[in-house]
DNA sequence: TACTAACCTGTACG
DNA sequence: ACGTACAGGTTAG
């Protein structure tokens, strides 16, 4: 019964958490901050340019306990069964932060395109396993970028958000190490002060890069899952998700799914998008 | 407090 | 082909 706690790289990469990944043969290559990762399965193996081990695939998570904890109903049970080995990923915080600011009102293909352009224009070029990569730019670099250069990356109206958010980091207003240490609620409050970050984006950053596993990003896909399967359980009044409603819903979600709710979100999200045959990377 | 339109831009439909 | 809607949301009013 250990089998189901192995890691499935395809599921994990293709679940909307990351954008700067490419598959080459049976090896996935991905940008993670200033680092480049190379990953393959059977057996699972990960190499990195930096040689630092950051447990990107959260191999040390107690999946057995987590899965048991989130399996509170048959919907999650099905999703977990359908995607064995799907993992949350531990991302570089700054890259994650910018990625999800860029994701607003956009789609995966375009998000990827924009982020690739940012890397190419502002990131350092490195050679890893005989291949050329452009890593993710440093906060300072994006904070100092000209409006025009950013626009040329395809950011559109998100240019202002990216610039301000980068400045917030380079100036020290946003300190990811600190955010990791404090509570979910407090860290979220701080993130929400940044222009361009709302509830959903904040929750993505907290879940995917700041160790807040109780975070449960609610986007239109998850909303669909909840409406379809949990209409009786969670209050879903009205059309739009106002800030207050988002908070209320999160509270009900934690009550139901527990402290690892973020993992349940990832399974449900993956399931719903696959069901609708939406494309990934 | 609750609700809506507007927002850059590429791409998928009709 | 060519216009229009829509995309993992946020902000301003």
In whole angstroms, C6 C1' to A278 CA is: 14
pLDDT value of residue A1: 46
Query: Could you list the pLDDT tens digit for every one of the 281 residues in chain A?
Result: 444 578 999 999 999 999 999 999 999 999 999 999 999 998 999 999 999 988 999 999 999 999 999 999 999 999 999 999 999 999 999 999 999 999 999 999 999 999 999 999 999 999 999 999 999 999 999 999 999 999 999 999 999 999 999 999 999 999 999 999 999 999 999 999 999 999 999 999 999 999 999 999 999 999 999 989 998 888 776 667 888 889 999 999 999 999 999 999 999 999 999 999 898 88
CATH code assigned at A48: 1.10.340.30
Which residue's CA is nearest to the C1' of nucleotide C11? A196
Question: Is residue A51 assigned to a domain?
Answer: yes
Domain carrying residue A92:
3-275
In whole angstroms, B9 C1' to A145 CA is: 20
Question: Is residue A65 assigned to a domain?
Answer: yes
Tokens describing residue A209: 């890069």
**What are the E-state strand segments in chain A?**
21-24, 27-32, 35-40, 45-48, 125-128, 131-134
Q: Is the pTM of this model over 0.85?
A: yes
- Within 8 A by CB and 6+ apart from A22, the residues are A28, A29, A30, A281
> Which residues, by CB, come closer than 7 Å to strand C?
A 15-17, 103-108, 110, 194-202, 204, 217, 219-221, 269, 278
Contact A217, A261 (CB under 8 A): no
A157 touches strand B (CB under 7 A): yes
pLDDT value of residue A239: 65
Contact A109, A225 (CB under 8 A): no
pLDDT value of residue A53: 86
Question: Is residue A154 assigned to a domain?
Answer: yes
Residues of A serving a catalytic function are: 200
Question: Is residue A280 assigned to a domain?
Answer: no
A240 touches strand B (CB under 7 A): yes
Residues A12/A56/A207/A88 CA torsion (nearest 10 deg): 30
Q: How many domains does chain A have?
A: 1
In whole angstroms, B4 C1' to A171 CA is: 35
In whole angstroms, B13 C1' to A224 CA is: 22
Q: Which of residues 46-105 of A touch strand B (CB under 7 A)?
A: 105
Number of residues that this document lists for chain A? 281
Question: Is residue A281 assigned to a domain?
Answer: no
Three-state SS letters, A133-163: EECCCCHHHHHCCCHHHHHHCCCHHHHHHHH
pLDDT value of residue A275: 92
A146 touches strand B (CB under 7 A): no
In whole angstroms, B3 C1' to A245 CA is: 13
Protein contacts on strand B: list nucleotides below 7 Å from a Cβ.
1-4, 7-11
């Amino acid at each position: 019964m250990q089998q189901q706690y192995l890691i499935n790289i395809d599921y994990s990469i293709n679940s909307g958490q990351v954008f700067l990944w490419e598959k080459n043969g049976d090896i996935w290559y991905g940008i993670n901050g200033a680092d480049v990762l190379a990953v393959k399965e059977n057996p699972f193996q990960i190499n990195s340019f930096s040689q630092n081990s950051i447990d990107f695939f959260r191999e040390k998570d107690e999946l057995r306990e987590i899965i048991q904890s989130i399996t509170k109903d048959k919907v999650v049970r099905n999703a977990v069964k359908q995607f064995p080995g799907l993992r949350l990923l531990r991302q570089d915080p700054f890259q994650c932060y910018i990625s999800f600011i860029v994701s607003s009102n956009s789609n995966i293909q375009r998000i990827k395109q924009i982020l690739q352009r940012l890397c190419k224009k502002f990131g350092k070029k490195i050679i890893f396993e005989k291949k050329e990569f452009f890593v993710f730019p440093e906060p300072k670099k994006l904070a100092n970028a000209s409006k025009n250069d950013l626009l040329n990356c395809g950011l559109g109206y998100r240019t202002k958000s990216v610039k301000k958010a980068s400045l917030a980091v380079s100036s020290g207003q946003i300190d990811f190490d600190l955010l990791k240490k404090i509570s979910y609620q407090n860290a979220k409050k701080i993130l929400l002060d940044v222009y361009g970050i709302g509830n959903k984006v904040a929750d993505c950053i907290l879940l995917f890069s700041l160790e807040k596993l109780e975070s449960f990003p609610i986007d239109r896909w998850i909303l669909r899952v909840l409406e379809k399967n949990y209409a009786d359980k969670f209050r879903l009044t009205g059309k739009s998700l106002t800030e207050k409603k988002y908070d209320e819903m999160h509270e009900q979600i934690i009550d139901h799914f527990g402290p690892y709710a973020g993992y349940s979100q990832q399974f449900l999200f993956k399931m719903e998008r696959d069901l609708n045959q939406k494309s990934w990377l």
